[in-house]
Amino acid sequence: MIEKLSGDSLLEWRRARGTAGDTTRCGSATFRWGERTYVMGVINVSPDSFSGDGLQSVVQAVAQARRFVSEGVDMIDVGGESTRPGSSPVPVDEELRRVIPAIERLSGELSVPLSIDTYKLEVARRALDAGACMINDIWGLKVEPRLAELAAERKASMILMSNQRDKPQRRIVPAVLSDLKRSIDLALDAGVAWENIIIDPGIGFGKSLEQNLELMRRLDELKVLGRPILLGTSRKSMIGLVLGVPPEERMEGTAATMAIGISGGADIVRVHDVKEALRVARMSDAIIRRRKS
């Protein structure tokens, strides 16, 4: 059952939890929320990525990551399991085989922070050992709450997503708010620092097209939770359904969602096309944040 939340109750919860932390440190980087939009580049070391960008080797992953860095990416998210609807879970050993060599190479060669896209405890632990400094949990601690203890122990940042694939909801914005509040509470109670928490509404994860569009329109309502918002719309099926185009032709639709998302309060955009996303972010920031460089 969805917790009934009003704006006043959320503000009271936020005050009780504390509001310190307008910056987040991850590795050698410091993210100052509100100053500009940050760009997270996606490295999929899985053969069945929904977006068609799955990489088959560490060499390919390193080459793509180097290109992202040359284009100005702020952080890189490495994942070894497809999150497309209907995909089969990958065994832990296979996921480790895919992601750990890539993270070891990237952490040794690149200066940008690395995130591990996983909901599995052992994969996250080994990824942090290999040089990652952020855990991107698409289940927001629903599947593996011990990820929060690991993040607290390692002082790692956490991205907590609202995912409705286990239980679709009719009223999507209250559901997402309740889901993210619960995830934040679990993380804080496990010892994760407030400033190390990032939230993600989970566009496309158990939500209908209309619900995804509604979340985009009402993204600013998530700001009441007091944490930076990551928006992942890149090449998503929402864009394909509206425009009637395959993943490789969704750049313009992705750009529109990024610009609207930044206007609604997004602090990070997670993308497959870094160069184009940085241009969209820079233009949007010039308008929304009055930042020209």
> Which positions are catalytic?
236, 270
Dihedral angle over CA of 143, 75, 215, 203, nearest 10? -50
Nearest to residue 114, comparing CAs of 122, 102, 123?
102
User: What is the per-residue burial (b if ≥16 Cβ within 10 Å, else e) of 229-238?
Assistant: bbbbbbbbbb
Nearest to residue 127, comparing CAs of 95, 162, 159, 149?
95
Q: 43: which strand partners?
A: 78
Tokens (6 digits) for 148: 């929060």
Q: How many CB atoms lie within 10 A of CB 219?
A: 22
Tokens (6 digits) for 255: 């750009």
CB 64 within 8 A of CB 43: yes
- Count how many residues are written for the chain: 293
Q: Name residue 74's amino acid.
A: D
CB 189 within 8 A of CB 149: no
- Rg of the chain in Å (alpha carbons): 18
Which stretches does DSSP call E strand in 90-237? 114-117, 134-137, 157-161, 197-200, 230-231
Full DSSP string of 218-280: TGGGGGGG-S-BEE--TT-HHHHHHH---GGG-HHHHHHHHHHHHHTT-SEEEES-HHHHHHH
